[in-house]
Amino acid sequence: MVPSTPYCDLHIHVGASVAPHVMWSIAHQQGFKLPVANYWEFVELVTVDPRKVKTLEDYLRILHVWTERIQSSPAAMERSVYEIIGKEYRGSRVERIELRFNPMKRNLEGERDLDHIIHAALRGMDRACLEYGVEAGLIFCLAREFTPELNEIILEKAIKYRDRGVIGIDLAGTEKRAVELSVDSVAKYARIFQQARDAGLGTTVHTGETTNTSGEGVMAVLRELKPDRIGHGIRAAYNEDATKMLADTGCVLEICPTSNLNTRAVRHLEEFKYVLATFLDAGVRFTVNTDGTYLCGTNIHKEYRLLVDSEILSEQEADVARKLAFESSFLNA
């Protein structure tokens, strides 16, 4: 049953949210040679099995090896974006959605034109918004593994298409404790993020998503990059200074419960109860999101019900988070 309450999803990846049957169709349409014999094996290939996925790296491997490759054409991106927006509205009444992806991971290392990839994504978004009356925007992901020069190109494209529906930038990829948590390594992105703000783009950063961090990355990001929002950020709950810094700055967290459970960033629901209770007590603002609907086997309504039914959030607390998602959207800029 479709919920009567409207939802807003601020953190949802294109590579993790296209239905397997659509991905199967796109793969065949583009002539991909797949390592599986039939559709059901393909479904297993592009979805998370919690028994097999032990880390964030395992999760990302599914994205990078298969879904992003299958989506690496203008036609694939147009259809992918269109299908996601329509499905999330029909299935969960998501009336506002911010889809994110790295356009440079869809152009086969320069083999395909970056602007064509972006235009196709915008066409898919425009068509879905027209048909369903949904509000939508695109966030371009920078990559931690990219050189500064490549990330600057992505920023340039985000600014170029600011008036067409690109609403923000993100910094994504795994944090390596010895490298990515130092101020120097985070600071190398500071100029890019300042340029994004100056151009009127929203800013968000993936950090505090793995168990090898305990808030240091969150604090470095807050100090050096000053983002509007942080993707995940859950490990800040284990660091009083990080929790206080989040509360003081008003930076909004994009919490993705099922994703964090699947990647073992949070071990179980009892731990999630501790994390969110810590944030609530400290006055840290957070929203609830999906990260990847089909990859994680979830939707936005399920995410809220998971937290409420497990008595992690009350109905009132969940509704505060739901409303905050609309208020914190980059589409308001």
The CA distance from 113 to 117, in Å, is 7
What is the layout of strands, in order, in the sheet containing 202-207?
7-13, 94-101, 135-143, 166-172, 202-207, 229-232, 252-255, 286-288
Q: Which residues contact 98 (CB under 8 A, 6 or more apart)?
A: 9, 10, 11, 12, 136, 137, 138, 139, 167, 168, 329, 330, 331
DSSP 330: G
Query: 249 φ, ψ to 5°?
Result: -80, -20
Please give the structure tokens belonging to residue 153: 């190109």
Rounded to 10 degrees, the C-alpha dihedral 85/91/97/99 comes to -50
Q: Catalytic annotation on 131?
A: no
Distance of CA 49 to CAs 214, 264, 276, Å? 26, 12, 25
Query: 276 φ, ψ to 5°?
Result: -70, -30
Please give the structure tokens belonging to residue 154: 């992505």
Q: Which of 173, 116, 180 is nearest to 144 (CA)?
A: 173
Distance of CA 30 to CAs 75, 171, 240, Å? 9, 29, 50
Determine whether 322 is exposed, middle or buried from the number of CB atoms within 10 Å of its CB (0-12, 13-18, 19+): middle
Catalytic annotation, pick one of 68, 83, 175, 209: 209
Instruction: Name the residues annotated as catalytic.
Output: 209
